[in-house]
Structure 1
């Protein structure tokens, strides 16, 4: 189960780096399709800034999840990963209610599976 937990944590980390790239550098049409928004809305300069700002948060979560494999070990690594995955789960719950239900499948489900795998592996 430890191998599955490691894979799931890494998947969530990589996924959030991908989300960061989409939010920060994606074309407005690509962002509109991915986040169920209108293309006109994603072209608004202030929205582009807001999405880039949100991308920083997603990128930092992803980066920290991946770095946790090298920066920490033992119980500290477990605690850090559980904390970061919990952040992802809470934000994904909110995003699913306020933005698009796809977030529950794309972000919440992998985070919850990783949390469960970490609990079982411990």
Structure 2
């Protein structure tokens, strides 16, 4: 149950990131991601952020959909793989964007991954 709750938290978080990256105003994006307003208002930046949003949204959707698409060990394996993707990307994001990414994205994914692995391997 804990593994499911933590996986869902990560999934919902990534759907929220998608909303910010695709539909938020440039001002909201600048505030949320620690960017300048000048940057987030550029058409190229808006397109890039929306593209990132699709990736984040699909990860979030897949994590949540895994609840209904798979059961048992396969469900845990899919969650473990998706969470590992997030861990790698969030680790890199913390190095390149800022340490806030480690708290907001890496930590929840690591906790969820730990819970999933404990159930799967335990």
Global fold match (TM > 0.5): yes
Query: For residue 62 of structure 1, what is the aligned residue in structure 2?
Result: 60
Q: 2:83 aligns with which of 82, 85, 93?
A: 85
1:46-71 Cα offsets, whole Å, 9 max, x none, are 00000000000000000000000000
RMSD over aligned Cα, in angstroms? 0.7
User: Deviation at 1:9?
Assistant: 0.2
User: Deviation at 1:33?
Assistant: 1.0
Kindly report structure 1 stretches of 4+ aligned residues shifted beyond 2 Å: none
TM-score by length of 1: 0.96
1:68-93 Cα offsets, whole Å, 9 max, x none, are 00000111111100000000100000
Question: d(CA) in 1 for partners of 2:15 and 2:31?
Answer: 18
Query: For residue 104 of structure 2, what is the aligned residue in structure 1?
Result: 106
What runs of 5+ residues in structure 1 fail to find an aligned partner?
Answer: none
Query: For residue 74 of structure 1, what is the aligned residue in structure 2?
Result: 72
TM-score by length of 2: 0.96
Q: 1:6 aligns with which of 1, 4, 19?
A: 4
